[in-house]
């Protein structure tokens, strides 16, 4: 009697980090292909296009430093996503938390402008952290008290804070010399100190790296980190282990918000020097993509953020040298994530040849 052979798809018991890495590589290769296709559609020489993309990102020492500058807010919003998603808290409000951090930082700047920079700059940073944390606290409390999903409230907060900022910039904080909704420029002495000569890389980058180490230690070494991981794996079991889910959720949302708030201060006092509605080029949303690609590992956020920072700068050069709009970068980012998620999901399964029992 011959047994018929057939294919069976079954779920893997364990997904190794190698599979994760292969998924990421496959996603990147596919995304590069799509990028090439988009360049082709845009009637641009594909080779020249990729060279421009690379040159803008890592082509020179100056480009590399600029890439680190662009990566700074991305590291922070990426970490903000990591800590929340690790606990399976769907904070999508990084954008609002970033802006509210910037708003609070600017408030500190206008109120304590008589202080010397050495005192005022730490106060500014503190206010940004508090601002972001407040913005994370509100949806967390709404969830705690009324069991309303944080996804919707954090997204609604993104819209609400945008209008709030616009309100501030058209009234109390408006630069009277300008038509546009923006604040006056930040005085030079209160800007974040520059790290290297003749470059723009500022204090914020150091803060982002410190934040990475802190979040890494927090998740891997502290009781709170244990609670976060337990909550993410199985909230019901976590509850039986005696973890106060609500308390942990509120704390996580505040930390997550604080990280994004810090990103807002960095952009305002380190790069843009005016409060306006274009401080963030969607850094909050990009942070979500970065965190996912980093497999929600804090240390992996840094290289992925640098890669994405490079992608941003590369796309600017691409726009100036060819006529490919720089918004290409948003397409690439989303496609990488889409492919990555699919590849990882597919690699969760394996194909096995089994004997058919019938």
Q: Does 166 bind another protein (CB under 8 A)?
A: yes
Rg over CA atoms, the chain: 23
Burial class (CB in 10 A: 0-12, 13-18, 19+), 174: middle
15 or 113: whose CB is closer to another protein?
15
User: Count residues contacting another protein (CB under 8 A)?
Assistant: 45
Q: Does 331 bind another protein (CB under 8 A)?
A: yes
Strand locations in the chain, DSSP E?
4-11, 349-356
Site for another protein in 192-221 (CB under 8 A): none
Q: Are 231 and 248 a contacting pair, CB within 8 Å?
A: yes
Cβ contacts of 50 within 8 Å, gap of 6 or more:
35, 36, 39
Distance (Å, rounded) from C-alpha 190 to C-alpha 113? 9
159 or 180: whose CB is closer to another protein?
159
In a 13 Å sphere around the CA of 9, the CA atoms on its Cβ side amount to 5
Region of 113-121, 185-193, 299-307, 341-349 interacting with another protein (CB under 8 A): 341-349
CB atoms within 10 A of CB 122: 12
Q: Does 19 bind another protein (CB under 8 A)?
A: no
Candidates 171, 177, 198, 358; binder of another protein (CB under 8 A) is 171
In Å, the largest CA–CA distance within the chain is 93
Distance of CA 199 to the CA centre of its chain: 23
Dihedral sign for Cα 261, 264, 265, 270, please: positive
The distance of closest approach from Cβ of residue 145 to another protein in the complex, given in angstroms and rounded to an integer, is 8
Region of 65-73, 208-216, 226-234, 282-290 interacting with another protein (CB under 8 A): 282-290
Q: Does 328 bind another protein (CB under 8 A)?
A: yes
- Pattern of binders to another protein over 68-107, x per CB under 8 A? ----------------------x-x---------------
Kindly list the residues in this chain that would bind another protein in the complex (CB under 8 A). 38, 41-42, 90, 92, 142, 146-149, 151-153, 155-156, 159-160, 163-164, 166-167, 170-171, 285, 288-289, 292, 323-325, 327-331, 333-335, 337-338, 341-342, 345-346, 348
């Amino acid at each position: 009697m011959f047994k018929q052979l057939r294919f069976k798809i079954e779920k893997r018991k364990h997904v190794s980090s190698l599979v994760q890495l292969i998924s990421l590589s496959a996603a990147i290769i596919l995304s590069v292909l799509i990028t090439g296709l988009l360049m082709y559609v845009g009637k641009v020489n594909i080779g020249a296009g990729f060279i421009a993309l690379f040159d803008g990102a890592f082509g020179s020492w100056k480009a590399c430093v600029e890439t680190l500058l662009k990566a700074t807010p991305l590291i922070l919003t990426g970490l903000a996503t990591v800590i929340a998603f690790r606990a399976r808290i769907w904070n999508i409000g990084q954008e609002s938390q970033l802006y509210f951090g910037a708003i609070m930082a600017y408030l500190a700047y206008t109120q304590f402008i008589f202080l010397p920079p050495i005192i005022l700059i730490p106060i500014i940073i503190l206010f940004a952290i508090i601002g972001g944390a407040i913005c994370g606290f509100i949806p967390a409390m709404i969830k705690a008290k009324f069991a309303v999903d944080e996804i919707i409230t954090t997204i609604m907060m993104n819209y609400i804070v945008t209008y709030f900022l616009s309100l501030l910039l058209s009234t109390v904080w408006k630069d009277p010399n300008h038509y546009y909704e923006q604040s006056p420029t930040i005085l030079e002495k209160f800007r974040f100190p520059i790290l290297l000569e003749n470059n723009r890389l500022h204090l914020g980058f150091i803060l982002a790296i410190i934040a990475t180490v802190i979040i890494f230690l927090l998740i891997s070494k502290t009781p709170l980190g244990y609670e976060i991981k337990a909550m993410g794996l199985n909230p019901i079991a976590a509850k039986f282990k005696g973890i106060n889910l609500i308390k942990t959720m509120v704390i996580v949302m505040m930390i997550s918000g604080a990280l994004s708030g810090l990103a807002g201060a960095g952009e305002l006092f380190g790069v843009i020097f005016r409060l306006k509605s274009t401080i963030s080029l969607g850094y909050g949303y990009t942070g979500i993509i970065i965190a996912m690609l980093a497999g929600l590992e804090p240390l992996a956020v840094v290289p992925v953020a640098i890669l994405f920072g490079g992608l941003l700068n590369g796309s600017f050069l691409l726009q100036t040298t060819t006529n490919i709009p720089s918004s290409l970068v948003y397409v690439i980012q989303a496609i990488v994530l889409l492919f990555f998620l699919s590849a990882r999901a597919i690699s969760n399964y394996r194909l096995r040849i089994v004997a058919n029992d019938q």
